[in-house]
Amino acid sequence: MTLTEILTLLALNLGLIVVVMLVLWTLSLRLKDVSFIDGVWPLGMLMLALATFPRTEGDPTRKWLLLWLCAVWAIRLAWHLLKRWRAHGADGRYTQIVEDQERKSGWSFAKTGLLIVFLPQAFFAWLNSLPVQLGQVATAGPIGWIGWTGAVIVVIGIGFESIGDAQLAAFKKDPKNKGQVMDTGLWRYTRHPNYFGDACVWWGLWLIAAETGWVGIASIAGPIFLTVTLTKWSGIGMTEKATAKTKPGYADYIRRTSAFIPMPPKKG
Query: Averaged over 9-14, what is the pLDDT?
Result: 97
Q: Note whether residue 91 is domain-resident.
A: yes
* Mean pLDDT computed over every residue of the chain: 91
In a domain, 265, yes or no: no
Q: What's the CA gap between 66 and 74, in Å, rounded?
A: 12
With CA atoms as reference, report the closest residue to 208 among 222, 197, 194, 196: 222
Decide: 115 and 34 in contact? Cβ < 8 Å.
Answer: no
What pLDDT does 140 receive? Answer: 77
> What pLDDT, on a 0 to 100 scale, did the predictor assign at position 242?
64
Q: What global pTM score does this model have?
A: 0.92
Average pLDDT (221-231) is: 93
Mean pLDDT calculated for residue range 106-130? 93
Predicted pLDDT of residue 138: 81
CA proximity to 8, closest of 53, 44, 52, 42: 52
Mean pLDDT along residues 190-214: 95
Cβ-in-10-Å burial (0-12, 13-18, 19+) of 267 comes to: exposed
* Residue numbers of the domain that contains 231: 3-256
Q: What is the mean pLDDT of residues 240-257?
A: 77
- Higher-pLDDT residue of 200 and 240 is 200
The pLDDT tens digits of the residues spanning 168-186 come to 999 988 888 888 888 899 9
Question: What's the mean pLDDT in 70-94?
Answer: 90
Per 3-state DSSP, what percentage of the chain is helix, strand, and coil (rounded to 5)?
75, 0, 25
Can you give the pLDDT at residue 246? Answer: 67
- Give the tens place of pLDDT for each residue, 16-37: 999 999 999 999 999 999 989 9
| 261 falls within a domain | no
Q: Find the mean pLDDT for residues 154-178.
A: 93
The number of folded domains in the chain is: 1
Residue 232 has a pLDDT of 83
Is residue 267 domain-resident? no
Determine, yes or no, domain membership for 266: no
Question: How far is Cα 246 from Cα 242, in angstroms, rounded to an integer?
Answer: 7
Burial of residue 76 (number of CB atoms within 10 Å: 0-12, 13-18, 19+):
middle
Tell me the per-residue pLDDT of 50-81, one tens digit each, with 9 for 90 and over: 999 999 988 999 999 999 999 999 999 999 99
Taking the C-alpha atoms of residue 243 and residue 187, their distance in angstroms, rounded to an integer, is 14
pLDDT band at 268 (very low <50, low <70, confident <90, very high): low
Question: Quick check: is 263 in a domain?
Answer: no
Distance CA 200, CA 212 (A): 19
